[in-house]
Structure 1
């Protein structure tokens, strides 16, 4: 019985690996400062790491996300800050040979009628096409695992007049994989994309002594969207503390919040 289970798991990983061979070589976020009526050109570099050919479809979508971890994909031009209508792809389907690399080109034409400063965005979806046609009459389990990529195309119009505004939505401590993690939900209520880093400074409530300073990785944050920034505080002993949360973007704009934290025993 154990051997059958191990064989079944091996088949799962084998089938999954068949579809995980496409990788993006030049990043998942492409950011441009743009002006009215101008044309900008870009490319998405991809590679087929498999030992067999792979077809890939490419198309545009709008998207958004929230601090709970949900990501929402929608049809193009579905909101007022979408730039999907500005973007033209040079192809919607490519087939790569084994180990082959290629580039997908796109062109951004900014309308002359744009007046509202700030960030506009959409995503280019790069998705492998499953060429295997399963036979429904065959015994066994067919497993398909498709890895699709969403490459953000962000255009900042009149960026000098726009700015991000970061709002702290919630702060909570949760246990995650044996670690104590502070999860800080932050929304960008401004009109400009930014990539903030969040720092947590913890102080002894009685003496005011600084216990430590902890940081999260920087993450991109679109206007009208929110994300959860995670900070590991596993080394902080159980107690009640005062703390300051500071979110800072690339332009050194800082947003701060004073909070009380209670680190409990496991």
Structure 2
């Protein structure tokens, strides 16, 4: 039987797995702030955890976001907030010897254009080209495991504008196990990426607070939306008044909600 090669590619902005032979020690999202003409320096710390050499390939890509669809990484497509042309660094191959720690240095050169403002971003792709392990399965199938990290390089430029968030939709959802949740669609109308956390307070008909919960803080890109889910499965049948707030840069945007659980 002819051997088949299966390649598993892990694509990110997710936490690493314990199977990764090369790991990123200082995070998958690197955020900085600067003004027109600034040069911002950064570094990515990598560690080869194995007893074998690991070959790395560095490439620069764009990440495209849109409401209602998944993020796309692209070498050819771009967008108005791309910082690819600002990138100063070596896009090369690098072989790490066993147990080697390697510091990849780069810089971002913000244009000397004082009309430029907003958040700009690009993605440094780091692929571990040499298989971490290769196993011959009983069915004569070769399993090659590879890892590719997408390091988000996010730059806030001439940051002045206020937080501008809008609750586009709030829906009561019931899953297949009959558990209720609130699905909230939040839109970021500003020119900056915002780290947003939602907070929900629920009050019964007597005005007593019976639930207080919050979400994880998620990045909402400029002129894009994102969905949040808030677990309210512990609420009994009845009518409730709710205060929903979005927290970003220590500023709050809120709305009142009347909720009926049947």
The number of residue pairs the alignment matches comes to 246
In the alignment, the residues of structure 2 paired with residue 179 and residue 90 of structure 1 have an alpha-carbon distance, to the nearest angstrom, of 51
Cα pair distance change 1:26/1:184, threshold 3 Å: same
Match of 2:255 in 1: 257
Q: 1:44: how far off?
A: 0.7
Cα pair distance change 1:225/1:51, threshold 3 Å: farther
In the alignment, the residues of structure 2 paired with residue 53 and residue 178 of structure 1 have an alpha-carbon distance, to the nearest angstrom, of 51
Larger strand proportion, structure 1 or 2? 2
**Aligned-pair Cα RMSD in Å:** 3.2
* Aligned positions of 1:6-25 closer than 5 A: 20-25=20-25
SS in 2 for 1:147: strand
In the alignment, the residues of structure 2 paired with residue 176 and residue 182 of structure 1 have an alpha-carbon distance, to the nearest angstrom, of 15
Cα pair distance change 1:233/1:18, threshold 3 Å: closer
- Whether the 8 Å CA contact 1:66–1:227 is kept in 2: the answer is no
- Whether the 8 Å CA contact 2:36–2:116 is kept in 1: the answer is no
Q: Is 1:38 matched up with 2:54?
A: no
| Structure 1 gap segments, 5+ residues each | 1-11
Match of 1:239 in 2: 238
Range moving further from structure 2, 223-232 or 150-159: 223-232
- TM-score (ref. length: structure 2): 0.80
Q: 1:86: how far off?
A: 0.1
Any idea what the Cα deviations from partners look like across 1:150-173, whole Å, max 9, x if unmatched? 2221111111x2233112233333
Q: 1:174: how far off?
A: 4.5
In the alignment, the residues of structure 1 paired with residue 18 and residue 231 of structure 2 have an alpha-carbon distance, to the nearest angstrom, of 36
Match of 2:214 in 1: 215
- TM-score (ref. length: structure 1): 0.79
| Structure 2 gap segments, 5+ residues each | 1-5, 11-16
Match of 2:202 in 1: 202
* Aligned positions of 1:100-119 closer than 5 A: 100-113=100-113, 115-119=115-119
Cα pair distance change 1:188/1:27, threshold 3 Å: same
Q: 1:90: how far off?
A: 2.5
Match of 1:128 in 2: 128
In the alignment, the residues of structure 2 paired with residue 243 and residue 71 of structure 1 have an alpha-carbon distance, to the nearest angstrom, of 32
Q: Is 1:87 matched up with 2:79?
A: no
* Aligned positions of 1:159-170 closer than 5 A: 159=159, 161-170=160-169
Q: Is 1:52 matched up with 2:52?
A: yes
- Whether the 8 Å CA contact 2:182–2:232 is kept in 1: the answer is yes
- Whether the 8 Å CA contact 1:91–1:104 is kept in 2: the answer is no
Larger helix proportion, structure 1 or 2? 1
Q: 1:107: how far off?
A: 1.3
In the alignment, the residues of structure 2 paired with residue 126 and residue 239 of structure 1 have an alpha-carbon distance, to the nearest angstrom, of 52
Range moving further from structure 2, 170-179 or 241-250: 170-179
Range moving further from structure 2, 211-220 or 62-71: 62-71
SS in 1 for 2:85: helix
